[in-house]
């Protein structure tokens, strides 16, 4: 069986078209965002919507719960869908909801989305106070049930403390190194060394605000950055987390960045001149383009085995170890 192709973060405007493109691109598993700022009930309604899609398109997609479901996707010619939160708002102030959502299929949760949360500090706050008392207990609970701690939108100290406090490897599912492009959302060398030496995973993002030269970023530049990361951190800790927001209307950006917490536009990862979604680079428009990334990695010197690791084998190994109860 060929190595899997796994994209560890998408927030598309889901449709049959996109599900078919996943199959055309040979994408075996996708971690999808089902909550940004939603309450408990709103997140459950998003799960209900996915149940409808699973019922409508059983030959294209199914709910993924364990690493074995990636292999099942390959064997049946479908895409396994794994659920995640980009903010802890759905658990509200109730630690028991961590296990409830794990029982409902959620496998990833960010401790914060840009702002301060009840758990940790986001990357856009001026003062990073690290994990809160509640945050430390939630990390312990996530470790227990098998929900992955994701620090993609978290600040430096909070991320380091999450790595230190967690007894299981964590993930940064969609970000790039700050030494390549200095976006606030990208991660310092200190964080990436701590992440990877502790067994954690980094998913490289293709969202233009995270890319050097934005929408004009070249495939060679992106793949050369991955090669530099492999030299610094090793190939085994690297994967793809595209942050693909395909077919989303620009109005969705307001929900992502503002939620209900702000009355004014928070441009966050963009600029006042371009508040909507930026154009994707021409070599990565949708799920059919993962083969271009694989080819680009080969062109910058990765072996076939290393390409397979970055395109999916590493996430497969991480899924196998992360989604069940602690031993």
Helix and strand counts by DSSP (H, E) for the chain: 12, 9
Those residues of the chain that have pLDDT short of 50 are 270-273
Q: Which residues contact 90 (CB under 8 A, 6 or more apart)?
A: 35, 38, 39, 40, 42, 43, 97, 101
3-state secondary structure of 303: coil
CA proximity to 94, closest of 128, 158, 141, 32: 141
Show the tokens assigned to 67.
Answer: 């690493």
- Give the model's pLDDT for residue 262: 83
Model pTM above 0.85? yes
CA proximity to 285, closest of 215, 223, 226: 215
| Cβ neighbours of 113 (radius 10 Å) | 25
- Give the model's pLDDT for residue 296: 98
Phi, psi of 42 (to 5 degrees): -65, -40
pLDDT digits (tens, 9 = 90+) for 35-88: 999 999 999 999 999 999 999 999 999 999 999 999 999 999 999 999 999 999
Domains of the chain: 6-322 (3.20.20.140)
- Give the model's pLDDT for residue 263: 82
- Report whether 288 contacts 25 (CB < 8 A): yes
- Report whether 108 contacts 85 (CB < 8 A): yes
User: Residues in the chain, how many?
Assistant: 327
Q: What is the DSSP pairing of strand 6-10 with strand 79-85?
A: unpaired
C-alpha dihedral sign at 97, 99, 105, 106: positive
Rounded CA separation 36/233 (Å): 30
pLDDT digits (tens, 9 = 90+) for 313-323: 999 999 999 99
Q: Calculate ∠ Cα 280-286-288, nearest 5°.
A: 140
């Amino acid at each position: 069986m060929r190595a899997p192709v796994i994209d560890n973060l998408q927030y598309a405007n889901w449709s049959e078209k996109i599900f078919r493109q996943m199959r055309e691109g040979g994408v075996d598993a996708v971690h999808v965002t089902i909550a940004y700022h939603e309450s408990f009930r709103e997140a459950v309604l998003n799960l209900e919507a996915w149940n409808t899609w699973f019922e409508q398109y059983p030959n294209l997609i199914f709910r993924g719960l364990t690493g074995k479901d990636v292999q099942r996707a390959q064997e049946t010619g479908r895409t396994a869908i794994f659920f995640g939160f980009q903010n802890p708002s759905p658990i509200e102030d109730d630690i028991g909801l961590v296990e409830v959502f794990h029982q409902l299929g959620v496998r990833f949760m960010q401790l914060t989305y840009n702002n301060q949360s009840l758990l940790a500090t986001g990357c856009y706050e001026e003062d990073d106070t690290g994990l809160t008392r509640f945050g430390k207990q939630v990390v312990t609970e996530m470790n227990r049930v098998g929900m992955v701690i994701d620090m993609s939108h978290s600040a430096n100290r909070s991320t380091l403390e999450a790595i230190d406090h967690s007894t299981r490897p964590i993930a940064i599912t969609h970000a790039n190194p700050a030494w390549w492009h200095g976006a606030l959302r990208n991660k310092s060398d200190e964080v990436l060394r701590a992440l990877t030496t502790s067994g954690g995973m980094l998913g490289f993002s293709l969202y233009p605000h995270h890319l050097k030269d934005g929408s004009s970023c070249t495939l060679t530049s992106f793949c050369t950055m991955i090669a530099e990361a492999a030299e610094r951190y090793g190939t085994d800790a690297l994967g793809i987390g595209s942050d693909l927001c395909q077919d989303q209307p620009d109005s969705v950006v307001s929900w992502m960045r503002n939620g209900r917490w702000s009355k004014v536009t928070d441009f966050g990862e963009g600029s006042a001149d371009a508040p909507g979604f930026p154009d994707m680079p021409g070599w990565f428009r949708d799920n059919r383009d993962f083969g271009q990334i694989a080819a680009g990695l080969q062109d910058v010197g990765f072996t076939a085995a290393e390409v397979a690791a970055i395109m999916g084998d590493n996430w497969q190994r991480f899924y196998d170890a992360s989604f069940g109860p602690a031993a």
